[in-house]
Structures are given as C-alpha cells and as structure tokens.
Amino acid sequence: MRWLLSNVRNRARFAARHPGYAIRSLLRELTHADERFLSAITGCSVGKLRAFLDEPFQDATFARGLQAAIEASESSLDFGADPYAKKVLVQYATVRASEPEIIVETGVANGISSSYLMLAVQKNGRGRLHSIDIGGQDHLPAGKKVGWAVPDYLRQSWDLRIGDSRILLPRLLLELDTIDVFIHDSLHVYEHMLWEYRTAYPHLRTGGLLFSDDALWNKAFAEFAVEVSARQSAIVRGVGILKKPSLRA
C-alpha cells in the first residue's frame, strides 16, 4: 500500500474537492476491484499484482529519481497528472504481470508513464518500449525536452520517435509487425483515439492488451471495445483496458 500513501497531501486535497470519486475509489481498494480485473486479463494473482503496485516506491533509485523530477519541474501540476496516481501504476503492474516483449505507446510528454514502463521492462529482464510523441512543449517545464524525466539507466531498451503519430505509428507498426501492448496517451479526441486503436489493433497479437488513457473523455474506447467484440474490457481509474480475444472466443 505504499503507493496509496505517496503524495498524501495532494490526495487529501483531491478527495476534499471530489468526495464522491474518493469514496468510490476507496470502495474499489477495499474490494480489490482493480486488481481482480487485472488478474483476469493477465493470469497473475491479486496478491502479486498488489505487490507490483508498491515496487516503484520500494526501488530507492527510481523513487529518488521520480522525486527529483517532480522537484525539478517545480510542481507536479507540470506533469498534467499526479505522478503517483494509480492510473499510472496500473500500466506498470500489468506490464510486470504479462511480461510483454514489444510495447508501443503514443504520447510521452515529460516521460513519467514511460519511466514506469521502462522500470517494469527492466525488472522483467525482457522487452522494449517504442514511444511516439508529437514533440510539443505543452506540459513541459521550460527548457526541458520530451521524455526528460526518464532516467538514463532505464533508456537502454527505449526507442523514442518524435513526430505526428498519424505518420509515425503506421511506419513503426509495419517495422514491428506484431506487438504485445499498445498504449494510447496522445491526442484525446474521439476521432484520433479511434484512429489509433484501429491502426494498432491489427498488429496486436491475440491475447495482447490495449490501453487508453483518459478513456472517459468520450465514447471512443467504449465503442471500440464493442466494435472488436472484446469480452474482457474495463475502464480502471480512467484508463481503458481491453484484451484482444482469439478468433474462436
């Protein structure tokens, strides 16, 4: 439960502003609802998944680096989201549990989510992360480049490409052919989200996982889950997650 105790002050402020959401989140924690879904799609036990959620904060080097990045940005608000939020840790725990070889993500910004993903890859001892970012300066502290928060010691298995995902994503997918995990975290508008899902999904292996940040912003994720007949899909802490079914499922 170390993750839940991180950034306590900001969590308390958020709970005071959004008591309904805070109560629902607490109920999900008490019932392990998030972990039970992740267990169903990965085959990993609930107990092990909860242990994975705490790993980044038990890794002293990673924890210090994350805190240093927050201090360097002057405020966690520069990240666009709480760097300690469970929505970020859900992806980390799932990658640890499923041990994918090839992960593709769109949207990097400061690189907080990418840092967690790369830590998971390192601890798994296998895998590679391919990231695409448009290269804009939104949400970046002055003078910082895309992905600046990813520590050097985690970059060995990281392929970062700067440019429009509408150009780079199809090219990357053709290079890779088959991928294990796709993560959408770029432009969160209906048309673009659907386009990215539909572009990446044919390259996703059977049993592979598709993630979408901010899946509640519009109906793109919900509609796509129906479109591909995903029997295992959910929105966990605002992150849409679905497992690609087999043709016989």
Reading the block at residue 3, the tokens are 């993750």
Q: Which whole number is the average pLDDT over 143-172?
A: 96
Q: Which whole number is the average pLDDT over 64-85?
A: 72
pLDDT band at residue 15 using 50, 70 and 90 as cut-offs: very low
pLDDT band at residue 136 using 50, 70 and 90 as cut-offs: confident
pLDDT confidence of residue 85: 80
Q: Which whole number is the average pLDDT over 13-26?
A: 56
pLDDT confidence of residue 32: 84
pLDDT band at residue 14 using 50, 70 and 90 as cut-offs: very low
Looking at the chain, list the stretches that DSSP marks H as alpha helix, in order from N- to C-terminal side: 2-5, 8-17, 19-31, 33-42, 46-58, 60-72, 86-98, 112-124, 165-176, 190-200, 220-227
Q: Quick check: 9 pLDDT over 50?
A: yes
Give Cα 114 distance to the centre of its chain.
Answer: 8
pLDDT confidence of residue 161: 98
Angle between helix axes 190-200 and 220-227 (nearest 10 degrees) is: 30
Q: What is the domain count for the chain?
A: 1
Rounded to 5 degrees, φ, ψ at 224 are -70, -40
Domain assignment of residue 78, yes or no:
yes
pLDDT confidence of residue 13: 55
Q: Do 132 and 154 form a contact (C-beta atoms < 8 A)?
A: no
Give Cα 36 distance to the centre of its chain.
Answer: 18
Q: Quick check: 145 pLDDT over 50?
A: yes
Q: Quick check: 222 pLDDT over 60?
A: yes
pLDDT confidence of residue 38: 97
Domain assignment of residue 249, yes or no:
no
Q: What is the pTM of this model?
A: 0.89
- Classified as helix, coil or strand, 224 is helix
Reading the block at residue 118, the tokens are 């790369």
DSSP 186: S
Provide CB contacts within 8 A for 8, sequence distance 6+: none
Instruction: Give whole-number Cα distances, 12 to 6, 18, 41, in Å.
Output: 11, 10, 31
For residues 225 and 234, give the distance between their C-alpha atoms in angstroms, rounded to a whole number: 9
Q: State the residue range of the domain holding 167.
A: 2-243
Average pLDDT in the chain: 88
Domain assignment of residue 77, yes or no:
yes
CATH number at residue 96: 3.40.50.150
DSSP 226: H
pLDDT confidence of residue 6: 57
Q: Which residue has the tokens 């970046």?
A: 140
pLDDT band at residue 225 using 50, 70 and 90 as cut-offs: very high
Pairing of strands 179-184, 204-212: parallel
